[in-house]
Structure 1
Amino acid sequence: MLPWSAEPAGRLDHHVVESDLLRGNPLGDPHERPLVVYVPPGYDDSPGRRSSSVYVLLGYTGHVGMWFNRMPFRQPYPELADAMFAAGDAPPAIVVYVDAWTALGGSQYLDSPATGRYHSYLRDEIVPFVDGRYRTLADRDHRAVTGKSSGGYGAMVTAMLAPDVFGALATHAGDALFEVSHRPRFPALARRLRDMYDGSYDKFLADFRGRLAGTKEGDLELLEMYAYAAAYSDDGIVRLPFDDVGAVVPEVWERWLALDPVVMAGEPRHAEALRSMRAIWVDAGSRDEYHLDFAAVAFRRALEAAGVPGERVHFELFEAGHGGIEYRYPLALAWLSHRLA
């Protein structure tokens, strides 16, 4: 496989969106955000044709420019998606690559007083921006949200929180089942925080921001946990879900669990939202390092308990870990495109 890009059969448009909702956010992050919109082959030649749309969310530390990173012998997702549409393997769809990066590495695509209004930004600004400039089928029954890892989390919660906007979802190794995927990491993080920073996140953040990121052991693990704590905050104060000996802080942990997709799916209004989905794709690698394969199984069971018809759900565990699974995304994209068209 050639190590450089080829001319796409479709077209990638690069935009900058000025967000009123992100202006003045608590982290001081830019309110002007990049947005990449892909239109499939033949879009410009068929002015009367409208297409479904699929919104793609990145995982933790992801920003929209990373979609174009190239690994040896692998193609990035935008090229894989383009090749799929060019081959006629799915009905044409408009693919929207969303940026919701923060100074902490991610937002979980939630409205949080500690990070900013990233759920509302996607729902109320990005979707109307795309519908106003492209020939979309501007209806929830023809619009999906997808993502991997934290992006998969974003896809699950966005579909539950905004079923009037999104009518389908795909989650690849999405964050869920927090008791299994997050809680076991607390003691190791508490120990690292104690041994390297006297138990102080303020000391860690001051050190992290004063040097090149990733140059000390545990940098991203500590920052990631803090980013989640910020995203799940309900009052703007970042509280850790564990104490100095790695034990759970119940009142904080309950807030996290309330935002666990597996738990959310059991609530009547979210269960109703999931039942309204036209299509739900759930997959994960069977040896996921964060045990998100178990999370995928638990979310599928939650869908069943919520009464989502089995024919609307695609579930699969495949041989892989957490990384290097970009080849799975076009499979879900094709499956969703058929059901949204």
Structure 2
Amino acid sequence: MKPWGAEPAGRFDEHVLVSETLRGNPLGDPHERPLWVYVPPGYDSDPDRGYPSVYMIQGLTGQLDMWRNRSAFRRNFPELADELFATGQAPPCICVWVDCWTSLGGSQFLDSPGTGWYHTYLCDEVVPWVDERYRTLAAPEHRGIAGKSSGGYGAMVTPMLRPDLFGGLATHAGDALFESCYLSEFRETARVLRDDYEGSYERFWEDFRSRPAFAKTSDGHLLNDWCMAACYSANDDGTVRLPFDAATGELVPEVWERWLRWDPVRMVPGHADALRAMRAIYIDAGKRDEWFLDLGAEAFRRALERIGVTDVFFEIFDATHMGIEYRYPLSLKYLAERLAPPG
């Protein structure tokens, strides 16, 4: 492969969407957001054809232009997606790359008084904007969403919350089974807050923003714990409630329960009808995932099985959490095939 980008066979249109939903958000983050729309080869030469659409969302700390990052001897996902359609390996579809970054690292694609209204932004601003400007098949049975890690979380919960918009999902190592993926880091965070920051998250953020990010090994779990709390357990006035005592790591049951209500595994029974109506559900994770999200993937699959959803792609493969962009075309192909119109 060439070490530089090549001209795509399809077309990437780069837009800036001015969001009224994100204007004046609690963190003061930009309300003008980049948005990429990919149209497959042949889109411009066949003006009467409509296409399924798949929305791509990112993991924690992801910003839209990071999709173009490449690892040695590997192509990035936009290049892999273009190749998938250019070579006819999957039915053509429109792909939409969405930015829901926040200055805390992410939004979990939820509405929260701690971060802003990112679920509403995605569902009520981005989707209609794309449908108005591109020849999408604007119905849930032809619209999917996919992501990894926190993006995989968003891909699980968004169709549960909005089955009127999304009829397919693909989650790569998505946050699920919260006691498995989150709980063990609370004690680590409590120690670091005590030893380095006088028990204060304010002091952590002052330090974090005064130097290169992630220069300390503890940065990741401190950022993650606070960001998740801002998404799952912020009060109506925006006050972020941690699910543990910052001095001891002891759980605060009423706040932890607020987190658990957002666990995809626990959400399944309450959204059974929506999930039974899905045309495509793809789940995978690496069996050496550092956050044990392979266990969450299995728990999510079993929760689906308990409500009678068995037509699911599921695989635990040999990998960690990182460097699995080569899996994304597999889920995109699966979604494209399942969301394509008959014939």
Q: TM-score range with shorter-chain normalisation?
A: over 0.9
Q: CA deviation at 1:234?
A: 4.4
8 Å CA contact retained: 2:233, 2:242: no
Give the TM-score taking structure 1 as reference length: 0.97
Equivalent residue number for residue 278 of structure 1 = 279
**Counterpart-to-counterpart distance in 2, 1:25 and 1:188:** 30
So what's the TM-score if we normalise by structure 2?
0.97
Letter in 2 for 1:277: M
Q: What displacement does 1:285 show? A: 0.4
Offset of residue 339 of structure 1: 0.7
1:265 aligned counterpart, secondary structure: helix
Return the match for 1:253 from 251, 256, 260.
Answer: 256
Corresponding pairs, count: 337
Output the CA distance in 1 between the equivalents of 2:308 and 2:261: 20
Counterpart residue identity of residue 266, structure 1: P
Deviations 1:62-116 (A, max 9, x none): 0110000121101110000100101101110000000000010100000001100
> How much has 1:215 moved relative to structure 2?
2.5
Runs of 5+ consecutive residues of structure 2 not aligned to the other structure: none
Moved over 3 A (4+): none
SS at match of 2:199: coil
The aligned residue for residue 155 of structure 1 is 155
Deviation at 1:307, TM superposition (A): 1.9
Structure 1 residue 280 displacement after superposition: 0.3
Partner residue in 2 for 1:239: 241
Question: Which residue of structure 2 lines up, in the alignment, with residue 105 of structure 1?
Answer: 105
Aligned to 2:215: 215
The letter for the 2-side match of 1:307 is G
Partners of 2:8 and 2:2 in 1: CA distance: 14
> Do the aligned residues in 2 keep the contact of 1:113 with 1:233 (CA within 8 Å)?
no
Deviates more, 1:238-247 or 1:42-51: 238-247
Could you tell which deviates more after superposition, 232-241 or 100-109?
A: 232-241
What secondary structure is seen at the aligned counterpart in 2 of 1:61? coil
Which residue matches 2:25? Answer: 25
Show CA shifts across 1:270-325 (max 9, x none). 111111111100000011000000000000001111222x22x1000110000100
Instruction: Name the amino acid aligned to 2:109.
Output: Y
- Structure 2 letter corresponding to 1:172: H
Task: Note if contact 2:37-2:94 (Cα within 8 Å) is conserved in structure 1.
Answer: yes
CA distance in 2, matches of 1:78, 1:56: 10
- Is residue 152–residue 175 contact of structure 1 (8 Å, CA) maintained in 2? yes
Q: Is the 8 A contact 2:186 2:225 kept in 1?
A: no
Structure 1 unmatched runs, 5+ = none
Q: Deviations over 1:205-258 (max 9, x none)?
A: 122223332223312221121111101124221111111211211111000000
Matched residue, 2:325: 326
Contact 2:93–2:336 (Cα < 8 Å) also in 1: yes
User: Equivalents in 2 of 1:39, 1:151: separation in Å?
Assistant: 22
**1:260 Cα offset (Å):** 0.3
The residue type paired with residue 64 of structure 2 is V
Aligned to 1:154, the other structure's residue is in SS state helix
For 2:302 and 2:199, how far apart are their aligned partners in 1?
38
